[in-house]
């Protein structure tokens, strides 16, 4: 049974989907059928998101998330979920702890369909921000929300 939710964030609408009480998708777009939306099912998650966008320190690490079937990506995502609020890691750090290469990590993260909960925005390049599948501007805004300041540097 798949359920859909729509959350209006300051950075634009966020669509979510869950299956068997696991989040399978969370993305910055209005890509769900409005008629199917059942926001009551996501009350806890949306509560966190509301606090998150108010700049509060919110963890999502207890929210059940559907891991990809792909073994390698599952390992990368699991590693990235360990990164706490406000913390930054480099592609290389993830790569080293997994015995792989930074490029492969970027590859896997670009396939992330559960933004924020799997905090791929907290993974940056050695010099600068690196990239972001949903746009570098969004990555920057999320990091600023978490107390970082890029206004002078990047």
Q: Footprint of DNA on this chain (CB under 7 A)?
A: 70, 72-73, 90-92, 100-104, 106-112, 120-121, 123, 125-127, 130-133
What does the CA dihedral 134, 112, 80, 104 come to, rounded to 10 degrees? -100
Closest contact distance (angstroms) between CB of 128 and DNA is 8
> Burial code of 117-149, b = ≥16 C-beta within 10 A, e = fewer?
bbbbbbbbeeeebbebbbeeebbbebbebbeee
Calpha distance 29→55 (Å, rounded): 21
Q: Are 16 and 5 in contact (CB under 8 A)?
A: yes
Nearer to DNA by Cβ, of 16 and 142: the residue is 142
Nearest-approach distance from CB 141 to DNA, in angstroms = 14
- The least CB distance from residue 90 to DNA, in Å, is 4
User: Does residue 120 have an active-site annotation?
Assistant: yes
Nearer to DNA, 5 or 130 (CB): 130
CB of 118 to DNA, least distance (A): 10
Residue with Cβ nearer DNA (54 or 150): 150
Q: Which of 120, 123, 142, 143 is catalytic?
A: 120
9 vs 133, beta carbon nearer DNA: 133
Two tokens at 43?
């009350």
Which residues are part of the catalytic machinery?
120
């Amino acid at each position: 049974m798949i359920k859909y939710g729509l959350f209006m964030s300051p950075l634009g609408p966020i669509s979510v989907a869950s299956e068997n009480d696991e989040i399978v998708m969370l993305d910055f777009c209005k890509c769900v059928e409005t008629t199917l939306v059942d926001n009551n099912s996501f009350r806890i998650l949306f509560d966190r998101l509301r606090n998150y966008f108010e700049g509060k320190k919110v963890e999502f690490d207890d929210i059940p998330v559907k891991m990809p079937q792909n073994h390698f990506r599952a390992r990368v995502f699991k590693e990235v979920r360990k990164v706490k609020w406000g913390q930054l890691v480099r592609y290389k750090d993830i790569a080293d702890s997994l015995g792989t290469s930074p490029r492969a990590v970027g590859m896997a993260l670009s396939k992330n369909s559960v933004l924020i909960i799997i905090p791929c925005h907290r993974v940056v390049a050695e010099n600068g921000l690196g990239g972001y599948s949903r746009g570098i501007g969004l990555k920057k805004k999320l990091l600023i929300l978490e107390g970082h300041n890029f206004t002078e540097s990047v």
